[in-house]
Amino acid sequence: MAIIMDGNGRWAKRQNLSRNEGHRKGAENIPRVVEAFAQYQVKYLTLFAFSSENWDRPPTEVGGILSLLGEAADREVEGLAEFHKKGVKLLHLGELQRLPPEIQEKARKAIDLTSANDRITLSIAFDYGGRQEVIKAVKKILEQKISPPILTPELFSSFLYTQHIPDPDLIIRTGGELRLSNFLLWQGAYSELYFTPVLWPDFSPAEVKKALLTYQDRKRGFGKLSEH
């Protein structure tokens, strides 16, 4: 499963709060959504937290998001977060180099701390872009001088950020927009899509259930004729 967490800013506007307060509320919603998926025995969940294009947002907003990321990493390192207590394994998808050094170090420690957990793997896509991911993979393939005849979709996938996790069966987008916004472009080739007008801070366990029930009714053919 994968989620484009959209709507923090609009949620804040409706509450007469700052956009950073909306992002804080959105961050607070992550643990309960992760727990809801874990209770349904979903083993892999990817959250789109910050795109490579988001750096162009106002500096105060970007700074607020980075501050929230640092706070979350601190909680993991100190062993206080519910993620670690509940067996969540953390991974990062995207680039770390553009983050402040102290946040890079905190993120690595959080990933190391939770590396043995196996209840659910939570991948945070931060400074992530689908096109950039594909270009980076192509560059690695060229650098290794891999022969075109042996290049397969499976081999190509091994050069992506997501090499250690399966492709998502379902991609959810909150907030009402009907696009993928450069998220998991390769991996989502045959993913089912679910769009909801519910803003991310309001995306509750009940909404998780609704999305999963909708997915349960889908017939997936992967390009072939369905038998149903």
pLDDT in tens, 126-135: 889 999 999 9
Residue with tokens 């400074």: 127
Return the pLDDT at 78. Answer: 45
pLDDT in tens, 170-209: 999 999 999 999 999 999 999 999 999 999 999 999 999 9
Structural domains in the chain, CATH included, are 2-216 (3.40.1180.10)
Do residues 164 and 122 lie in contact, with contact meaning Cβ atoms separated by under 8 Å?
A: no
- Select which of 6, 20, 29, 127 is catalytic: 6
Question: Does 118 qualify as catalytic in the annotation?
Answer: no
Return the pLDDT at 79. Answer: 40
- Select which of 54, 74, 117, 182 is catalytic: 54
Do residues 112 and 89 lie in contact, with contact meaning Cβ atoms separated by under 8 Å?
A: no
pLDDT at 66 over 80: no
Instruction: Give all strands of the β-sheet with 44-51 in edge-to-edge order.
Output: 88-93, 120-128, 44-51, 2-4, 170-173, 192-195
Buried b vs exposed e over 205-226: b needs ≥16 C-beta within 10 Å? eebbeebbeebeeeeeeeeeee
